[in-house]
Amino acid sequence: MAATQDVKGKGEGGDQNFDYMFKLLIIGNSSVGKTSFLFRYADDAFTSAFVSTVGIDFKVKTVYKNDKRIKLQIWDTAGQERYRTITTAYYRGAMGFILMYDITNEESFGAVQDWSTQIKTYSWDNAQVVLAGNKCDMEEERVVSVDSGRLLAEQLGFEFFETSAKDNINVKQTFERLVDLICDKMSESLDSDPAVTTGAPTAKLTDTAPPLQQPGCNC
């Protein structure tokens, strides 16, 4: 995994200089820790107070990878069923998903298959997914084993991490891995379809994904 490097000391406001823009979504049942996960990654902050997300929100974070500047548009979705119409509308064009469950909540783990189906239904085939078992700091309350999580990820064809937004475990690694997967997929698509690099129309990567600033991906 090629490490990405956070861009420090540069404000997000009005910054249009980037090589790639990736749209990522964090999905999963309510209260599994999606918002906390994003806050930890984007702001390096954590609060234990639970505030249910209304609808959808997002943050922007820029990272460097192989001298390329990648802007991550990270969308935080509400997990409650009542917001499903809103949240699924944002699946379109997403290049990567972090599908999250709570290792202390069996129901949230049982819903992973349904969330996976949602991705297949509302997103595109090339979207990359990382399964994240959050709250791994709460070992005493664990009801979903690491092996169960890993096995399910293998069955679904996803990468897998156990994470903790609270203790900052594997948060950055999860995003880095997702960025790697997206870059790999882009390179793979470019290799198999040289038309992309020449700017010719293609039904693959550039079909539904956000337009890239540069035609090729060398990240």
Partner 1 sequence: MGQTISKPISNPFQNSNFFASFKRGSTIPPSFDLNTSPRPSIFSTLRRPTIAKPNDFIPLFNDCISAASCRTQEYLLFKDPEDKFHASPEVVNLNMTDAFNCTAMTPEQRILLGADWVWAVLEKPTKNPRIQIAVQVLHLPERENADENGIPPDFCSESVQIAQMESSDRNMYERMVDFCTSIGKDCYALFLFMGKKNDKGNIYGVLSLTNTINDGSIPFGKWTVSIYRFSSLRDHSKLFTTQVIHPLTPKLVHWWQRQLCKLPLLIRSGNHSYTPTHRWKGQQGWYFAQ
In whole angstroms, give the CA distance from residue 86 to residue 73: 17
83 interacts with partner 1 by CB under 8 A: yes
Q: Pick from 7, 46, 56, 148: which binds partner 1 (CB under 8 A)? A: 56
Q: How far is the CB of 84 from partner 1 (least distance, A)?
A: 9
Q: Which one, of 113, 143, 107, lies nearest residue 131 by Cα?
A: 113
Residue 15 interacting with partner 1 (CB under 8 A): yes
Member of 1, 2, 3, 86 binding partner 1 (CB under 8 A): 86
Q: How far is the CB of 81 from partner 1 (least distance, A)?
A: 9
Q: Which is nearer to partner 1, 6 or 191 (CB)?
A: 6
Q: Is 60 in the site for partner 1 (CB under 8 A)?
A: yes
Q: CB under 8 Å, gap of 24 or more: what pairs does 117-125 form?
A: 118/27, 118/88, 118/91, 119/27, 119/91, 121/88, 122/88, 122/91, 122/92, 123/91, 123/92, 123/94, 123/97, 124/92, 124/93, 124/207, 124/208, 124/209
44: contact with partner 1 by CB under 8 A:
no
Q: Is 82 among the residues that bind partner 1 (CB under 8 A)?
A: yes
Buried b (16+ CB within 10 A) or exposed e, 155-173: ebebbbbbbbbbeebbbbe
Tell me which stretch binds partner 1 (CB under 8 A): 78-86, 126-134, 140-148, 185-193.
78-86
The residues that touch partner 1, with contacts defined as CB under 8 A, are 12-16, 30, 35, 38-39, 49, 51-60, 73, 76, 80, 82-83, 85-86
